[in-house]
Amino acid sequence: MQNHAHDKELIKKLNLKAVRVRKQIIEMLYHAKSGHPGGSLSATDAIVALYFHHMRHNPKNPGDPDRDRFILSKGHAAPALYAVLAESGYFSKKELLTLRQVGSILQGHPANTRTPGVEVSTGSLGQGLSFGIGVALAGKLDKKNYNVYVLIGDGESEEGQVWEAAASASHHKLDNLTALLDRNMLQIDGCTEDIVGLESTKERWAAFGWNIIEIDGHDIKQILDALHEADSYKGKPTMIIMRTVKGRGVSFMENNVDFHGVAPNEEEYKQAMKELDETEKKLMED
């Protein structure tokens, strides 16, 4: 895929998509009265960039054997993925307001047996990268040219399985595998560095044999450039370390661990939607 990251109209289009996805996340969680806003909002820009520009995928044929694959390892950020899948046309947007209801196709964590477009059921943290390795290795063995993208969390990276996967991926030289680390520095118990510190993240992943790219995870241009660079890099898997803000886009949720797994109440919902409406209006005027 060509690098169009300097196209101002494209950047504006994707930023608008991202704010609209954030509005849908807030709507979904408010109606569900449960869920995880913080990590969904921090991951939004990367997922938007992947689905609306970078990845090859077809909502009319979710099982296309030549599609690129996206795996949301931090499965509690499912609202971001669901909103993007609905926007992409995998299912009706009406389904979004059924989040977490009995019988809904949108469970609290992704379920590939229920939701069109979901590659694998996730939510038991630490497992997504291992699954991604299997898919990437299968692509190599089948001589397919698809790419695999796995979004992991920094709290999730305390899981030992993540590091077993990191070693395996570099051993097999899986250059068709890109991991994206949502480095928002917070997890349910507080600051990641107070619980099990990950610094220096770059040096750790490099020591496991990965190509490393560090970016602002809310800068669409940087995200697109990093994805393009990752696809072009040969001989190693790539880790894109994204510096992000938990709760991005909603002032009182930003860097606020209280909103890791708590849905907004009515007052908070109205305030969040007001802020996002203002952001959307400003983007449209620019």
Q: Supply 141's token pair.
A: 């063995």
Domain count, the chain: 1
How many Å is the Cα radius of gyration of the chain?
18
- Token pair, residue 64, equals 């296309």
Burial of 165 (0-12, 13-18, 19+ CB in 10 A): buried
Q: Which two tokens stand for residue 138?
A: 């299968």
277 within some domain: yes
Distances (CA, A) of 284 to 11, 19, 58, 275, 278: 12, 11, 28, 14, 10
How long a stretch of residues is the chain?
A: 286
In angstroms, the CA 82 to CA 233 distance is 30
Alpha-carbon distance 222 to 218, whole Å? 8
Distance CA 221, CA 206 (A): 24
pLDDT tens digits for the chain (286 residues)? Answer: 445 445 999 999 999 999 999 999 999 999 999 999 999 999 999 999 999 999 999 999 999 999 999 999 999 999 999 999 999 999 999 999 999 999 999 999 999 999 999 999 998 999 999 999 999 999 999 999 999 999 999 999 999 999 999 999 999 999 999 999 999 888 888 888 888 887 789 999 999 999 999 999 999 999 999 999 999 999 999 999 999 999 999 999 999 998 999 999 999 999 999 999 999 999 999 8
Q: Tell me, what CATH number does 144's domain have? A: 3.40.50.970
Asked, for residue 3, whether it belongs to a domain, the answer is no
φ/ψ (deg, to 5) at 232? -85, -20
Task: Report the sign of the C-alpha dihedral through residues 124, 126, 129, 131, in that order.
Answer: negative
Task: Show the tokens assigned to 277.
Answer: 């409406």
In a domain? residue 146? yes
What are the DSSP E strand ranges found in the chain?
69-72, 148-153, 177-183, 186-187, 190-191, 211-216, 238-243
**How do strand 190-191 and strand 186-187 relate by DSSP bridges?**
antiparallel
CA distance 119 to 113: 9
Flag whether 201 is in a domain: yes
In a domain, 1, yes or no: no
Cβ(279)–Cβ(19) below 8 Å = yes
Domain of 12, in residue numbers: 8-285
- pLDDT at residue 188, rounded to an integer: 86
Total-model pTM: 0.95
Task: Please state the separation of Cα 19 from the chain's center in Å.
Answer: 15
Which position has the token pair 């991991």? 179
Does 2 map to a domain?
no
Sheet with 177-183, strands from edge to edge, namely 69-72, 148-153, 177-183, 238-243, 211-216
